[in-house]
Amino acid sequence: AQSVTQLGSHVSVSEGALVLLRCNYSSSVPPYLFWYVQYPNQGLQLLLKYTSAATLVKGINGFEAEFKKSETSFHLTKPSAHMSDAAEYFCAVSDRPSNTGKLIFGQGTTLQVKP
């Protein structure tokens, strides 16, 4: 069964530092991959998605992620953290093609940004 692993339940960075949130998936066939962000007591908002085409995907708020098939990874990065980036981040994966449309979510990584 498809699965996704986010390494590190909590990541802390200083404002202005590089943000790196790790995500690995288990499928042998490249799936669809997503990163979502969740602010406290709110729903999830899509940051970016990988569906095919370019392996480097740019998203909103200056985030980007690189799909690496050889490493089965889809890590999320941002060159310079801002205080407003403090939130919980979820990596998700979906089979390609999918009969159900289901997403499998990682456990989430809480990003703390220190002034």
Partner 1 sequence: DGGITQSPKYLFRKEGQNVTLSCEQNLNHDAMYWYRQDPGQGLRLIYYSQIVNDFQKGDIAEGYSVSREKKESFPLTVTSAQKNPTAFYLCASSIRGTSNEQYFGPGTRLTVT
Residues forming contacts to partner 1 in the complex (CB under 8 A) are: 9, 32, 34, 36, 41-46, 49, 51, 90, 94, 98, 100-103, 105-108
Q: Which is nearer to partner 1, 9 or 80 (CB)?
A: 9
Return the C-alpha torsion angle 100, 28, 106, 22, nearest 10. -150
Distance CA(42)–CA(12), nearest Å, equals: 21
CA-derived radius of gyration, the chain:
14
Q: Least Å distance between CB 104 and partner 1?
A: 9
Nearer to partner 1, 20 or 46 (CB): 46
